[in-house]
């Protein structure tokens, strides 16, 4: 169910774009993201910082797209989001000597500090790659190609998350594993 909730706004955006245009798609994306965040809030009674940032960027860039009738704003939103994430994670680890991933997830998963550090570096590289890739598609391809990239480009985050899961799996204790109950 969670994965369906994650894909809900982009699937509706894609459908609205295909049946109408980028502006209807943008309005649908904005509404679907608000609904998605309401559902997440209803389930978890809070929104994580990333949820709030994503919602804010979609609403700001979506509004600019609709008011100015310029699709460049919504197309650049992923680049801004990914670049900001990459910069924030890099500054945190190399300047502030903090690991945001560990701060956010450390209460849920127990990993060695070296593993947290490598995960943080992997996220810096991954988000920088995604920012650059989106910028490349925006600059070199049509809006239709960008929309298709947004839909089929989900292979990148899925691959990254699966790879990350495989990387941390050997470090998880039995009680940290999803679905693991108390040991007798």
Q: What digits encode the pLDDT tens for the residues 56-87?
A: 999 999 999 999 999 999 999 999 989 999 99
Average pLDDT over residues 101-124: 88
* Element holding 147 (H helix, E strand): helix 143-152
Tokens of 158: 């899925």
pLDDT reported for residue 70:
94
Residue 92, class by beta-carbon neighbours within 10 Å (0-12 exposed, 13-18 middle, 19+ buried)?
middle
Number of Cβ within 10 Å of residue 180's Cβ equals 11
- Whole-structure pTM value: 0.81
Per-residue pLDDT at 3 exceeds 70: no
pLDDT reported for residue 1:
61
Tokens of 129: 């790659």
Q: Quickly tell me which residue has 């890739």 as its tokens.
A: 133
Q: Is 63 in a helix, a strand, or coil?
A: helix
More confident: 137 or 11: 137
Count how many residues are written for the chain.
184
154-179 pLDDT per residue, tens = 889 889 989 998 998 888 765 544 55
In angstroms, what is the C-alpha Rg of the chain?
18
Per-residue pLDDT at 182 exceeds 50: no
The CA distance from 51 to 57, in Å, is 10
DSSP code at position 97: -
Per-residue pLDDT at 13 exceeds 50: yes
Dihedral sign, CA of 177, 180, 182, 184? negative
Cβ-based neighbours of 137, under 8 Å, separated by 6 or more: 145, 146, 149
pLDDT reported for residue 12:
93
Number of Cβ within 10 Å of residue 166's Cβ equals 9
């Amino acid at each position: 169910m969670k994965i369906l909730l994650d894909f809900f706004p982009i699937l509706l955006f894609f459908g609205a774009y295909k049946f109408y245009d980028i502006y209807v798609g943008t309005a649908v994306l904005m509404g679907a993201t608000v609904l998605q965040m309401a559902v997440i809030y209803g389930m978890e009674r809070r929104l994580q910082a990333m949820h709030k940032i994503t919602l804010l960027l979609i609403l700001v860039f979506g509004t600019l797209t609709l008011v100015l009738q310029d699709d460049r704003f919504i197309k650049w939103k992923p680049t801004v989001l990914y670049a900001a994430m990459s910069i924030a994670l890099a500054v945190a680890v190399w300047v502030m000597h903090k690991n945001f991933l560990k701060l956010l997830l450390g209460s849920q998963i127990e990993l060695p500090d070296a593993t947290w550090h490598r995960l943080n570096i992997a996220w810096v590289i991954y988000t920088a790659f995604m920012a650059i890739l989106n910028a490349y598609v925006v600059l070199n391809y049509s809006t239709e190609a960008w929309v298709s990239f947004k839909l089929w480009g989900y292979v990148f985050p899925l691959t990254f998350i699966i790879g990350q899961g495989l990387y941390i799996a050997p470090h998880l204790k039995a009680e940290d594993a999803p679905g693991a109950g108390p040991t007798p």
